[in-house]
Structure 1
């Protein structure tokens, strides 16, 4: 009887060690995933971050979304301008491709001399940012969020174009983003490097009447 009573605490001790080991492994895995997700969310875009973007965004965005570097906020180093052009048809004539329109410049002009809020003007850059996060550099959508971001950007641009083509019907829409490097301050004595704008041009999208619903 004494041997059995001595054996019971030993068995319970082994089970406690096993449970503690499993708990420790789960905890280490959760901490490792947490830090891996934060790193992938903050590093510059790359193949790995694009591959796991839906998973990382679903974990980080609800509560942990931020735009901070290690010790200080990340100030904007580039200026982004969303531009668009359309294909129109009207009066039985041929389809015509219009010039590029700088929609960001129009929004900035509307903001000057006005008081907050600028909620309407914020829609376009937020729509572009949403699209950029959920698409690969080759314009392939990342799941359902990718398709939603494309539709959101399309409607945001069409909202800006409402009233510009009253006598013509828009049949196609193309969007591009112009990125310019922010010029260094005047007191910066570093080497001067040429700063040419970079363009990201999206493919043409067809425009249908349903695209204007509730704009």
Structure 2
């Protein structure tokens, strides 16, 4: 008895499709490998490799993927920072006024207590301040190409929290400052130094324009 051959041969994947899948797999593995390499270089103790590729790693990690912890030597914070801001606003009759300082960090902490434990929104402000400090001198001079980006990022993070506070008034200027407090020692540690007074770092006034509110 003669075996009947099928009318159509089984479909064989086209070579171009296999090649495309292979290229996609290589690109995907490369992207994953670069991500993990960048995150490791951003968290390991300083070394020759991390110093050599610091600008490249910083451009990828900052500001969204910034790591605020030490991988091999956890270092609890010795200071707390509070970001504060005030504005210059113009009312409906054209009268200008300077508002009082607002503690934006306190508002974020209060929001954390009212919500589920997701701190993504509340973490934006301290990370923006840290990003700004890394790319500016103590006198506020920007360092490299990331200086302007860090200024814009901090400015927009603050404006995002001020939206709705000044109804009917146009914000024309913004000033940000950071209050640094030393974490007090525990009651049983009598040998620690007494807590010093808060230290303020005040930034210059920034103009506020309509484009600063885009996609906030």
Answer yes or no: same fold by TM over 0.5.
Answer: yes
Query: Structure 1 residue 156: deviation in Å?
Result: 0.4
2:47 is equivalent to residue 35 of structure 1 = yes
Equivalent position of 1:201 in the other structure: 202
Unaligned runs of 5+ residues in structure 2 are 1-45
CA contact (8 A) 1:89 1:171 kept: yes
How many residue pairs are counted as aligned between the two chains?
Answer: 167
2:95 is equivalent to residue 94 of structure 1 = yes
SS at match of 2:54: helix
Select which of 58, 77, 85 maps to 2:56: 58
CA contact (8 A) 1:77 1:181 kept: yes
Superposed counterparts of 1:63-212, under 5 Å:
67-68=69-70, 72-190=73-191, 192-212=193-213
User: What's the TM-score once normalised by structure 1's chain length?
Assistant: 0.70
Detail structure 1 runs of 4+ shifted over 4 Å in the superposition: 59-66
Unaligned runs of 5+ residues in structure 1 are 1-33, 41-51
For residues 13-36 of structure 1, what are the alpha-carbon distances to aligned partners after superposition, in whole Å with 9 as ceiling and x for unaligned?
A: xxxxxxxxxxxxxxxxxxxxx824
CA distance in 2, matches of 1:91, 1:172: 16
Aligned-pair RMSD on alpha carbons?
2.5
| 1:67 to 1:122, Cα distance in 2 relative to 1, 3 A | closer
**Structure 1 or 2: more helix by fraction:** 1
CA contact (8 A) 1:37 1:59 kept: no
